[in-house]
Structure 1
């Protein structure tokens, strides 16, 4: 038998690679000679760097960069096994987890550190960049990222405007004379699972601003400031992507990546499937086992197990998904390419116990599954 093991991470418990390793142990207890192809997965969000590095025998790097509120943070990025593709999560540098409670203020937070990570990757001589842009603390239109790459955003006095979405109204001139030329020579794919435009009632500020600490008054200012930024870009750079789907992602970072870096926005799971070579590895498999921490009726909206199941359907391969929790509406997934859905929990337990015993529970659950398949 050939098993393709393509799980996401079980957050706060195990990385995707650790989940796949535990699945393999469960299988080998029953079928020592079974072929197990491990393909750690992610959907473009947290864990994407780790999964693609693990899945391609790549290398992890760590660099000290500017955090969203100006302090220094350590951000990881990866170079895939081909030695020419970098994978970055913007949240590693500019994520909301760096800003606690009352400190959250998208008028002030910056994407500068994300630009510093991109620059570090360019310094490695890569030809492609994959960047996931979920989990941001920012609403600066991506200007911070562009400043780190050499762009200058000046006020009427010719001074660089301050960090944060609250300063965009001061922008008078864009100077790209020192912008990093290497950006033009690379392929940039952006993992983005939202379709919001830059501004308006469905834009970056209105939809995502409040969760980053914006009051209703701030939302109005931030939206007007992004509109001003887009107008300056249109007038001086000659590009108008403010209404492009995903332009409002990560507080407008999507807009900056499309406009200044020739970025192409794609669903995160599609990017991971492509670079993990999942489809090729899945051919002639007997079974596919996937999973993540929680599976419910939201899984069908581009989450990892759903993406894996769609590839398996192409080859008519049975798909088994395991999860710490089977949430509301999970049975809907039987209409979306899943053949069996199981929780790994052996009984009632605290969340702490469930997280700490994840490896053991996955091993035992997969062993039980394979014993049933082997009858």
Structure 2
């Protein structure tokens, strides 16, 4: 597996840079994975890839930015490539459309396709359009897609990883490379052969700043009440934010709503939390809208502060853990699915946490990452689930 990276406002120039960085190969790759900045025209990028590499299936899509050893950034002009050359480790591509009709059914459709081809414990990379519409703003909910996927897959031995695609940090749009062209409202799955295994660490960075509170009124992703009070009022009071101003944007930058898994009274462990970013707030209704609709009435949650120091420490620990895990073995590819909100331009961190991954991960592991809208990874030994404000670092390896 070869990695290439380029950056240019000109799609053909970006493609030529990234393809040159791939290096030479005896034959065309079996499959090409591409993550293209949102300011690059997707049809021009796809056409340029075909012109330079020939009729190679291209899968992936839009990203707020790309991450590699050759460079990283989120200007919107980045292009990251992975060439899968070896047919014994190249993934099989599956495609499902119809997210705009029913996200859960679309997830179930791709899950059923995966179940039909999985023979033993296999790694699956799921990529999907995160933005349903911009007017009005609406997301394709990852929790619905993954729930449908998990139901359809059932007890099939699947190691599911993935990410939601978007064009920029403002969620202005999204699109998918589906193998043949460019699609909207689509989901793709890459099913790796049994010869490929995956090691994964989830990088966090939030800490609780409130006691447990009960969600006493919720509708989908919109939380109206916490402990019987308007949710927005409770959160702003606890965070010391003034009521008024651009409260939705302010809250999304500083806090999430977290649900602790397992024993609520166990000592703090960042890995025990599933956090949900705050998408918007409604002053008139006193409500907040989360990125996902998977919290329920009666759930105990805490306000979580997005802590840049904890985030960087989590990255350092996670990369060290990964290096120990993959020290011995045939490592094929490092993949970093990084929440766009963790970038310095969004988080305010003085250090780019992606740079810590680039510099810290074993230099012998080829690395490509992309800035995502949501991340999907195995959680707490159960089915995989979508996560917010995390970095999911995975190393694909040849199974012994």
Report TM bin, short chain: 0.3 to 0.5
Comparing both structures, which one devotes a greater share of its residues to strand? Answer: 2
Normalised by the length of structure 2, the TM-score is 0.31
Comparing both structures, which one devotes a greater share of its residues to helix? Answer: 1
Normalised by the length of structure 1, the TM-score is 0.33
